[in-house]
């Protein structure tokens, strides 16, 4: 489906590959070279045959193997996504918990307003503001580049902000719901310490929807945070795919879609596994501890 959609798009990679001064012979030569003279079906079959051999082809422009490039870029994207999640998840849950436990107070209202703001700001704006403050003014972090932890903080923070906001809201809602449940009263009556009630009883039960959202967010980061990666010059899958799309570099586009689909499915699988651990009711067979 992606294959035929892509071919139906207007635009032709051959013209960009051929430069500004290409005679019709050169154009035909290049088109033939990339198989553009064959029917869409024949091109598709060719691609599938290549895939079966574990090859994703070579980029039309760089002539480099798409798989090699993906193997460089995918770990970068995973690092960025993981870092963003490591910031967003604990902070979001913590904020949500504070909001829920102090519901209907001024703290709750202020934090709610902040989280709505966090949800609504676009990443290109928050990214540039963070860069302005942390790089240009405070000079604590490099504004762009792909590398170690210091390069990772800015893009991860930018990516984490909206996720943090949405997680705090979801945590708040589900914690508030649980707070009124009979088993919490029971726990209090048993004389269990408040901290343990909050962590073991409330939080654990409130986590299911949070994990769902976190999983979805993580999956979407893996398929590429195009804007964030572009602003901070991060060499990830999103930027790679975007450049491929702009130049109609079909092997690159297909390779990226394939890899992100696989990672999305794997992420969902991982989230399903996590559900079973968080909520024993979801387990089939085995003991409930």
Which member of 37, 40, 49, 64 binds other proteins (CB under 8 A)? 64
Using the minimum distance from each CB to other proteins, give the nearer residue, 3 or 119.
Answer: 3
Hunting for tokens 């910031």 — which residue is that? 87
Contact between 14 and 36 under an 8 Å Cβ cutoff? The reply is yes
Return the number of the residue (108 or 247) whose C-beta is nearest other proteins: 247
Site for other proteins in 182-221 (CB under 8 A): 196, 199-200, 203-204
Does 230 bind other proteins (CB under 8 A)? Our answer is yes
Closest CB 74 distance from other proteins, rounded Å: 10
Interface positions, 127-166, toward other proteins (CB under 8 A): 128, 131-132, 135-136, 139, 142-149, 151-152
How many other CB atoms sit within 10 Å of the CB of residue 240? 28
286 makes contact with other proteins (CB under 8 A): no
Residue 142 CA to residue 233 CA, distance in Å, equals 11
The mark string for 234-253 relative to other proteins (x by CB under 8 A, - otherwise) is -x---xx--x--xxx-----
Binding mask of the shown chain, residues 255 to 274, with x at each position contacting other proteins by CB under 8 A = ---------------x--xx
The CB-of-159 to other proteins minimum distance in angstroms stands at 13
Specify the stretch interacting with other proteins by CB under 8 A; choose among 43-51, 60-68, 108-116, 255-263.
60-68
């Amino acid at each position: 489906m992606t294959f035929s959609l892509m071919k139906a798009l207007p635009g032709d990679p051959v013209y960009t590959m051929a430069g500004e001064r290409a005679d019709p012979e050169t154009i035909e030569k290049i088109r033939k070279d990339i198989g553009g003279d064959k029917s869409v079906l024949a091109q598709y079959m060719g691609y599938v045959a290549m895939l079966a051999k574990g090859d994703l082809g070579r980029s039309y422009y760089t002539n480099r193997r798409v798989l090699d490039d993906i193997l460089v870029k995918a770990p970068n994207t995973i690092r960025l996504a993981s870092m963003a999640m490591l910031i967003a998840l604990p902070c979001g849950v913590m904020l949500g918990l504070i909001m829920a436990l102090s519901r209907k107070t001024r703290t709750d209202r202020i934090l709610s307003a902040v989280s709505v703001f966090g949800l609504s700001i676009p990443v290109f704006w928050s990214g540039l503001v963070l860069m302005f403050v942390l790089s240009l003014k405070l000079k604590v972090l490099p504004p762009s580049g792909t590398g170690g932890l210091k390069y990772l903080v800015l893009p991860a923070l930018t990516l984490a902000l909206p996720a943090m906001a949405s997680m705090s809201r979801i945590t708040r809602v589900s914690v508030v719901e649980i707070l009124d449940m009979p088993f919490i009263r029971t726990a209090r009556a048993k004389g269990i310490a408040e901290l343990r009630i909050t962590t073991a009883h409330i939080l654990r039960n409130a986590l299911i929807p949070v994990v769902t959202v976190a999983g979805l967010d993580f999956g979407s980061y893996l398929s590429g945070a195009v804007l964030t990666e572009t602003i901070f010059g991060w060499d990830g899958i999103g930027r790679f795919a975007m450049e491929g799309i702009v130049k109609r570099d079909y092997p690159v586009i297909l390779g990226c879609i394939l890899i992100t689909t696989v990672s999305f499915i794997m992420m969902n699988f991982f989230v399903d596994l996590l559900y079973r651990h968080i909520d024993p009711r979801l387990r089939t067979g085995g003991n409930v501890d």
